[in-house]
Amino acid sequence: MSILTRRRLIGIFAAIVLGVAIGIGGRALLVGGSSSIFGEIKIGGPFSLTDQDGRRRTDGEFRGRLMLITFGYTFCPDVCPLDLQLMSDAIDALCADGDKVQPLFVTVDPGRDTPAVLKSYVEHFSPRIVALTGTPAETDAAARGYKVYYKVNGDPARDPNYLVDHSAFIYLMGGDGRLLAYFTHETPPDKLAAAIRARL
């Protein structure tokens, strides 16, 4: 087994473990209890990042609105486009109520995902999406708040086509910044829309 394959398997295993932790801790959080195995897992928190238009954005400005937030990167070959399309379709299905929900895409690849790159990328999905990047430290802080696992594979200095392993959840956050629910790219758009509508 090659080193790269081994690293990818470790990354996938870590994402699975994280998913189990979120599943147990997240359910406990939603019903106001705590998990005896993992304790209460807090998902979310403050961030200060730069959007696709070069403006600084913070979590505080989205208070009072629901947020759909996912982490990924523009060079992602599979899950990220599916997540963004799902978010876009679900919000479109809400019609006028879609304006009450802010979709956010936070990159885990700030080295490549400049504001200009993000702007071009999210235009393929929805004009409603706010895409966010920052310094590696800012990106890492945001990812930690949402318990997002990510790891660069390869050497970006030598391989411009490097990949980034990452966990992939879509978080539905309340107007107070607390986790309400989470979804995967396999969720049908109408199911996601219904889950959002129930919380408006």
Whole-number pLDDT of residue 154: 87
**Cβ–Cβ contacts within 10 Å for residue 131, how many?**
27
Report pTM. 0.80
In this predicted structure, the answer to whether residue 183 has a pLDDT above a threshold of 70 is yes
* Mean pLDDT lowest among 30-39, 42-51, 152-161: 30-39
> Which pLDDT tens digit goes with each residue over 56-110?
999 999 999 999 999 999 999 999 999 999 999 999 999 999 999 999 999 999 9
* Mean pLDDT taken over the chain: 85
Supply 164's token pair: 């980034």
Angle of CA points 174, 192, 58, to nearest 5°: 35
Q: What is the mean pLDDT of residues 31-41?
A: 40
Give the model's pLDDT for residue 40: 59
Three-state secondary structure call for residue 37? coil
Q: Which class for 2: exposed (0-12), middle (13-18), buried (19 or more C-beta within 10 A)? A: exposed
| Distances in whole angstroms, Cα of residue 36 to Cα of each of 28, 44, 179 | 10, 21, 19
Q: What is the pLDDT of residue 10?
A: 41
Report the C-alpha gap between 101 and 94 in whole angstroms.
9
**Percent of the chain at pLDDT above 90?**
78
pLDDT by residue (tens digit) across 102-151?
Answer: 999 999 999 999 999 999 999 999 999 999 999 999 999 999 999 999 99
pLDDT tops 60 at residue 163? yes
pLDDT digits (tens, 9 = 90+) for 39-59: 457 899 999 999 999 999 999
Could you give the percent of the chain with pLDDT greater than 70?
Answer: 80
Dihedral sign (CA 118, 122, 162, 132): positive
In whole angstroms, how far apart are CA 6 and each of 1, 33, 60, 89, 92? Answer: 7, 37, 40, 36, 40
* 56 vs 7, higher pLDDT: 56
